[in-house]
Amino acid sequence: MPLDFEALSSWDFEEIQQTLTERDTILYALGLGFGEDPADKKELAFVYEDGLKAVPSMAVTMGYPGFWLRNPKTGVNWQKVLHGEQWLDIYKPLPVKGNIVGRTKIDFMSDKGEGKGAVIYQSREIFDADSGEKLARAAMSAFCRGDGGFGGENRPGPAPAVLPEREPDHICDIETLPRQALIYRLSGDYNPLHADPDVARSVGFDRPILHGLATYGLAARAILKTLLDYDAARLVGLDVRFSAPVYPGETVRFEIWEEAGEARFRASIPQRGVVVLNNGAARLA
């Protein structure tokens, strides 16, 4: 059954007001494994209140409207929705506490045809509620595998970043904890797929998988560590295409290429020979 195009075309998102605390900022970083070495002061800066810094990718959790596609009025078969791509532009270094406003909208929908699914492209502008300054813009595509054939146009999305054909300039391996998803979900994504083994098995996974946006946050961590000496203000954009899930406890390998003004990257699980993030681009100041 296809999605309800008319309902989605006029979908009214409530403005999300969020009170961001230092605890939220620390918890997000812990969900990405920062502080793995408690003697590493550069990583400690993201998980300790004395001189605390925000991980730039935290913007994707700010002013978040929740998993709204689960609303029956959308007509979407939410159990078959996959996070396809994520884009992020950061205009100012993120605050570690304060009042945040998020304003979400649907940009457009693409009908791949009956039996082929549909893609919903949405974006969210994130503001400092006190100053009115725009902090970031987060956008994503949701691949709705069970909702093609609603009669819409098959519109292409943004072109993915192209990876160089040469060998990568850097390799960065990041180990995840078996309980990584249980920590990351405390930053606001409580989808039981990432916690409940029965739910995971019901949709074809052996066990709960790591949140896609947690893997995305690992990419930010890899770029900060490998190229930026943990200078968070220099990471001003991060785009990826999701290609496969990560299981908590696995080691994620990032292959990174330095390009003019940015980095290109992909991530894989060497033990399984699977690419989990592809066509990655990090914009650097």
The pair of three-digit structure tokens given for residue 67, joined into one six-digit string: 């998993």
Angle at 137 between CA 131 and CA 140, to 5 degrees: 150
Catalytic residue among 209, 223, 256, 269: 209
Judged on CB neighbours under 10 Å (0-12, 13-18, 19+), 50 is exposed
Catalytic residue among 31, 63, 148, 212: 212
Catalytic residue among 111, 147, 189, 239: 189
The pair of three-digit structure tokens given for residue 3, joined into one six-digit string: 């999605």
136, 60 Cβ separation under 8 angstroms: no
Strands (E) in 147-187, as ranges, are 170-175
The pair of three-digit structure tokens given for residue 91, joined into one six-digit string: 């205009």
189 assigned to active site: yes
**How many of the other CB atoms lie within 10 Å of CB of 280?**
26
194 assigned to active site: yes
Please identify which residue in the block is written with the tokens 């996959």. 82
249 assigned to active site: no
212 assigned to active site: yes
Catalytic residue among 117, 194, 256, 280: 194
Judged on CB neighbours under 10 Å (0-12, 13-18, 19+), 173 is exposed
Question: What amino acid positions are annotated as catalytic residues?
Answer: 189, 194, 209, 212
